Amino acid sequence: PGWGQTQPVETNIVCRLDSNGGVVQLPDTHISIHIPEGHVSHGDYQQISMKALLDPPLELNSNHCSSVSPVVEIKLSNMETKSFITLEIKVSVCVKKESGHCAEVLCVRSDCKEGPYTPILNAYIYKDTVQVQLDSLEPCMYIAVVVQSRYINHNTTVWDHMQRKVTLGVYGPKHIHPSFKTVVAMFGHDCAPKTLLVNEVTRQVTSTPPVALQLWGKHQFVLAFPQDLQIGLYSNMSNYLVKASEGAGIIRGFQIKLGKVSRLLFMITSHNPSSISDFTLRVQVKDALDCILTQFCVQTPQPPSKAGARIAGQRRFLKKKEVDKIVLSPLAVTSKHPKFQDRCITNVKFGKLIKTIIRQHKSTYLLEYKKGDVIALLSEEKIKLRGQLRTKEWYIGYYQGKIGLVHAKNVLVLGKVKPIYWCGPDLTTTTLLEQILKPCKFLTYIYATVRTVLMENLSSWRAFADALGYANLPLNSFCRTELDNEPEKVASVLEKLKEECTNMENKERKSFQRELMMALLKMDCQGLVAKLVLDFVLLTTAVEVASRWRELAEKLARVSRQQMEAYEAPHRDKNGILDNESMWKPAYDFLLTWAA
């Protein structure tokens, strides 16, 4: 009674290189970046983040264009570069000899994931390898390889001019059990991820955490054109029953044409749960006329061993009860925290304002500015906000000491060189923290929850106290009795911050939320901040919505009346009444489930 949603865990890597250069390769793929020697100055560093986005944007797939590689996201930390970089991608496609004048293999680029994409001229293609020189480097770039028709002909598509391969991947659990799920996924390229996440969506009120499936095997085959495909999964042992989920078993041709990853969920059950062993699965692909296009076999892993010594060391996956205790920042549990430095931020672009904006109704996040002035842009990525009439695009800008949104049409982007007629204070790391944390004071929080999260995730009370500005205070300034463990010491520091922020006699009252978030960011605990901010936002929304939460739940997730009653049941009193003051509680429970 349910259906499965799956999503791939996108392959990614982050690497830091010095002036000697080097090669960065995405794990388990044929995608790499070559950094020449002298790319950055001696003593300087370049941090490169590379990710394979498996679902391409719609722009890259139509009758006259088809993506044949993942979209490669490249992020660079240092823009003070002295040379280009080279991206190398292997693709499983070739243009037919008789169609050489009708179609071509291109490498396209964009600064935004959704486009628009433009061809890169400095591309070299030899057999199945595409090499492209990337100059005019940006902090974030998106690269893909496509096959595109040279001429628009309504009687043919780009598929008529190329011979390409697609990839089938079979995913399952690390160990087989009497009953388990298997997913067959189709990719329009050869980059099948090693892990696939599966969410089980049922009619129950509470949702279960996603299950990670491993890649058991993959197979490539030539597909002549986008068409409906029948996928069959068969076991070589009669002990196992393979059953496709409702609506599964068919991959639609339009999904293949759009380049989207197609996923089919199969349930495998053993007739004799007491006797299970590994077996072979045969995957068969047929077209609409029942002709077999390809078939291949994969071997399942062994069932878990019932006895034997446990392997010491860190587990790769979390148990269900441990999901809520995940540490989101790798630096949150280390004993040494980086020291925060107040310095100027130079990795920004500047723009000239081409319109004067004075707002009649003042806004905390929309900037006011004067035509002809210069604004600093924190990122060239645009934020899309949908209004009543149309969708507008905005930059995040820094102007006259304030950070906010500026309409993209009102800015002419200049470059990274700071204009001589720049006025106002420079953007520093301290200013950046103060500005981005301003909205925190409007958020609602539950102190007990914050205390528990910090006790579980912070391992140094001294680093926490220093980040809050208590650098010269000893431990006995925070607690009256001697504490034995580190979590209690962290809690005592948090208690002192709360007392200072709620003291009515203090003339310069601080915001508890803002001071806490600033300290955690200074400790480089971004993951912990993200977790707390999410909880604060959901709680604030629940309090604001309160009695109207049922209307929100129906619009967001089409929650049934029975499910709404189930959310409210634990919070009703002995007489079965839920007053308006307590209505935020079921609202908060629903939002937690919806955001999971």
* pLDDT, tens only, 162-192: 988 999 999 998 888 888 889 999 998 888 8
Do 236 and 100 share a structural domain? no
Please check whether residues 15 and 128 belong to one and the same domain: yes
Q: What DSSP state is assigned to residue 581?
A: G
Which helix (H) or strand (E) segment holds residue 246: the answer is none
Query: What letter does residue 54 receive in the DSSP assignment?
Result: S
Do 283 and 268 form a contact (C-beta atoms < 8 A)? Answer: no
Residue linked to tokens 């339009």: 254
374-419: pLDDT as tens digits: 999 988 888 888 777 788 899 999 999 899 999 999 999 888 888 8
562: domain range? 538-595
How confident is the model at residue 353, as a pLDDT?
A: 92
Q: Phi/psi zone of residue 372: left (φ > 0), alpha (ψ -120 to 50 degrees), beta?
A: left
Final residue belonging to a domain, choices 135, 161, 187: 161
Identify whether residues 173 and 85 lie together within a single domain. no
Q: How far are the Cα atoms of 69, 544, 550, 586 from residue 547, in angstroms, in the given order?
A: 49, 9, 7, 9
Q: What is the pLDDT of residue 399?
A: 92
Cα distances (Å, whole numbers) of residue 240 to 233, 236, 248, 280, 309: 11, 8, 19, 10, 29
**pLDDT confidence of residue 333:** 40
Say if residue 153 is in the same domain as residue 188. no
Per-residue confidence (pLDDT) for residue 143, from 0 to 100: 92
The pTM for the full model equals 0.50
Contacting residues for 133 by C-beta, under 8 A, at least 6 apart: 84, 85, 86, 120, 122, 123
Q: Which long-range contacts (CB under 8 A, 24 or more apart) does 286-291 make?
A: 286/229, 286/230, 286/232, 287/227, 287/228, 287/229, 287/230, 288/227, 288/228, 288/230, 290/230
CATH number where 113 lies: 2.60.220.30
Per DSSP, 244 falls in state: E
**575 phi/psi in degrees, rounded to 5:** -90, 5
In a domain, 438, yes or no: no
Give the per-residue SS3 of 441-503: HHCCCCHHHHHHHHHHHCCCHHHHHHHHCCCCCCHHHCCCCCCCCHHHHHHHHHHHHHHHHHC
What is the helix, strand, coil percentage profile of the chain, to 5? 25, 35, 45
Write down how long the chain is.
596
End residue of a domain, out of 161, 191, 208: 161
The total number of structural domains that make up the chain: 4
- For residues 39 and 41, give the distance between their C-alpha atoms in angstroms, rounded to a whole number: 7
- CATH number at 365 reads 2.30.30.40
8 Å CB contact between 195 and 8: yes
Query: Within this chain, do residues 54 and 128 fall inside the same structural domain, yes or no?
Result: yes
156 and 183 belong to one structural domain: no
Report how far residue 157's alpha carbon sits from residue 161's, in angstroms, rounded to the nearest whole number.
Answer: 8
In a domain, 337, yes or no: no
Separation CA 563–CA 461 (nearest Å): 43
First-to-final CA distance of the chain? 21
If asked whether residues 589 and 577 sit together in one domain, one would say yes
| Longest CA pairwise span in the chain (Å) | 85
Last residue of a domain, one of 95, 126, 161: 161
My answer on whether 151 and 171 are in the same domain is no
157, 285, 467 from 524: Cα distances, Å? 51, 49, 10
Nearest C-alpha neighbor of 108 from the set 179, 172, 154, 56 = 56
Compute the distance between CA of residue 545 and CA of residue 556 in angstroms, rounded to an integer: 13
Assigned token pair, 331: 């630096």
Closest listed residue to residue 285, CA positions, set 232, 242, 326:
232
Q: How far is residue 492's CA from residue 473's CA, in Å, rounded to a whole number?
A: 13
Intervals of the chain under pLDDT 70: 1-10, 199-210, 246-248, 306-338, 507, 596
pLDDT number for residue 67: 92
Clarify whether residues 157 and 13 are in a common domain: yes
Asked if residue 112 and residue 18 are part of one domain, the reply reads: yes
d(CA 596, CA 589): 11
Q: What is the pLDDT of residue 314?
A: 42
Among positive and negative, which fits the CA dihedral 210, 211, 212, 213? Answer: negative
Is the domain of 13 the same as that of 149?
yes
pLDDT in tens, 138-168: 889 999 999 998 887 778 888 988 988 999 9
Q: For the purposes of burial, counting CB atoms within 10 Å of the CB of 540, is it exposed (0-12), middle (13-18) or buried (19 or more)?
A: middle
Give a yes or no: residue 331 inside a domain.
Answer: no
Residues 134 and 148 grouped into a single domain: yes
